[in-house]
Amino acid sequence: MKARGVDPKYHDKTEEQDDAGIWTFNRCAEAYIEAKSHEWKSKKHAEQWRATIKTYCSPVFGQLPVDQIDVELVLEVIEPIWYTKTETASRLRGRIENILSW
């Protein structure tokens, strides 16, 4: 499951729901990127969004429905990199916020 980007502790409420039409974080992230990418100056920008979402968010809450994502889960993603990759953490926090607001 980890190789597919699924955190095993959340598996029981994840993959099947996405197939059932539930809007998971990963599904929303991809839809948001597709909707906004035409506004961005280069394709690289969209690829950077996808890479950070896949690397940091997907293993923790990517397969969860967006209504189940709370502050604690966001902090679980952000805190481990806040002091070592501050710029990445800051951008990722903004990306998460944009996706959830969308």
Q: How far is C-alpha 78 from the geometric centre of its chain's CA atoms?
A: 11
Q: Is residue 12 part of a domain?
A: no
Question: pTM for this one?
Answer: 0.78
Question: Can you give the residue range of the structural domain that contains 38?
Answer: 22-101
Q: Is residue 1 part of a domain?
A: no
Q: Is residue 2 part of a domain?
A: no
3-class SS at 65?
A: strand
Q: Is residue 67 part of a domain?
A: yes
Question: Are 27 and 67 spatial neighbours (Cβ–Cβ below 8 Å)?
Answer: no
pLDDT range class, residue 3, cuts 50, 70, 90: low
Q: Is residue 6 part of a domain?
A: no
Summarize pLDDT for 29-85 with one digit per residue, the tens.
Answer: 999 999 998 898 888 999 999 999 999 999 999 999 999 999 999 999 999 999 999
Q: Is residue 60 part of a domain?
A: yes
What's the rounded Cα separation, in Å, for the pair 92 and 53? 8
Q: Is residue 34 part of a domain?
A: yes
Neighbours of 62 (CB within 10 A): 24
Question: Are 23 and 66 spatial neighbours (Cβ–Cβ below 8 Å)?
Answer: yes
| Domain at 79, CATH number | 1.10.150.130
Give the chain's domain count.
1
Q: Is residue 44 part of a domain?
A: yes
